[in-house]
Amino acid sequence: MWGFLGRRLALAALTIVAMSIVIFVLLRIAPGNIVDLLFQSAGLVDISEKQRLAHELLLDRPVAVQYLTWATAFVHGDLGKSFRYGLPAWQIIRPRIPITVELAILALAVSVAVGLPTGVVSATHQNTWLDYGLRIFSLAGLSMPAFWLGMVIIILLVRTFGWIPSMLYIAPWVDLRAHLLQFLFPALSAGYRSAALINRITRSSMLEVLREDYVRTGRAKGLAGRSVVYRHALKNALLPVVTVIGTEFAFLIGGLIVTETVFNLPGVARYLVEAILWRDYPVVQNLVMFIAIVVVLTNLTVDVLYARLDPRVRYA
């Protein structure tokens, strides 16, 4: 176990370093002089400012020095400075983190709460109308753009209930009910896709396990059908589902970017899009790095969890 954990940790660290290089290089191949772009977006006019900006960005130093300076600062928690706001990026990002984390957790909760039971029912009722209905429901989830679903939800809410979701963020300590209502619909529209995927994996995994000998044994010795399905089969069918929940988390972040935009939630993901549109490159670079680390750590957790859940799993 410890050897595996050590290797896995080393791989995660290596991945993060490699990702930082990829991100750094990608944003350096941007066409046009980055100073000119920042110069415009920061609304500066004085030419001497240009040289100061280039110097501040270390653009007059070798690329390796630029990279190492950035990496060192990042490790020390210095996320650089937003050129748009003229503020340290961390000051802008920090208040946004809880919003994105809450949305991500709620969306994941929705997707597991919907995807897992429907997947089990779909498998135990294979090739019945219930199964067909649930499969169409899940395929639809994989086919609808999350942002469009959000827009349709808003239209329906306004048309049928005359209720306009607040366009301003409501903190939970101000009005808990309004806060939860504000997060419910974004979580639903962002979580539907993941729910659909979890449903599919649960279904196929359950179908496989339900044909195993020990399930037949359970039935033969007279265990209640419910007990066989939930205590014996589901436990064994859960492994691939755990993996999918892990990899789906990466997709969920993508879904959050559009969902936060549609529902006007001031989260980290929406800030990334804003930074890209404003060409606030220092912020883009750090924010993407931040997301990369979150994703790598999630994958690491899933892998470790996987090894804990299934003693047979040992990665050589």
Partner 1 sequence: MKTSVVRFLRRQPLGSAGGVVMALVMLAAFAATAVSTDDPTRTNAAQTFQPPGRRHWLGTDHLGRDIYSRLVHGARVSLAVGLTTSALGGLLGGAVGIASGYERGVATAVIQPILDIMQGFPLLVLALVLTAALGPSLLTVIVAIAVPFVPRVARVVRATTLAIRESTYVEAAQALGASGLRVAVRHIVPNTLAPLIVLTTAQLGSAILVEAALSFLGLGVPEPYPSWGRMLSVSAAEFAQRAPWVVIFPGVAISVVVFASNLLGDSLRDFLDPRLRI
Q: Summarize as ranges the residues that interact with partner 1 (CB under 8 A).
A: 14-15, 18-19, 22-23, 26-27, 29-32, 139-140, 142-149, 151-152, 154-155, 158-159, 204, 240, 250-251, 253-255, 257-258, 261-262, 272-273, 276-277, 279, 281, 284, 288, 291-292, 295-296, 299
Q: Cβ(79)–Cβ(90) under 8 Å?
A: yes
3-state helix, strand, coil in the chain (%, to 5): 75, 0, 20
Nearer to partner 1, 155 or 171 (CB): 155
- Report which secondary-structure segment, H or E, holds 275: helix 268-277
Nearer to partner 1, 117 or 145 (CB): 145
* C-alpha separations of 48 from 55, 62, 84, 119, 197 in Å: 11, 22, 19, 63, 55
Nearer to partner 1, 228 or 268 (CB): 268
Residue 303 beta carbon to partner 1: minimum distance, rounded to whole angstroms: 11
Residue 225 beta carbon to partner 1: minimum distance, rounded to whole angstroms: 26
- Report which secondary-structure segment, H or E, holds 81: strand 81-82
| 274 Cβ contact list (under 8 Å, min separation 6) | 280
Nearer to partner 1, 236 or 261 (CB): 261
Nearer to partner 1, 141 or 218 (CB): 141
Residue 99 beta carbon to partner 1: minimum distance, rounded to whole angstroms: 18
CA nearest neighbour of 192 among 246, 113, 266, 299: 113
Residue 191 beta carbon to partner 1: minimum distance, rounded to whole angstroms: 16
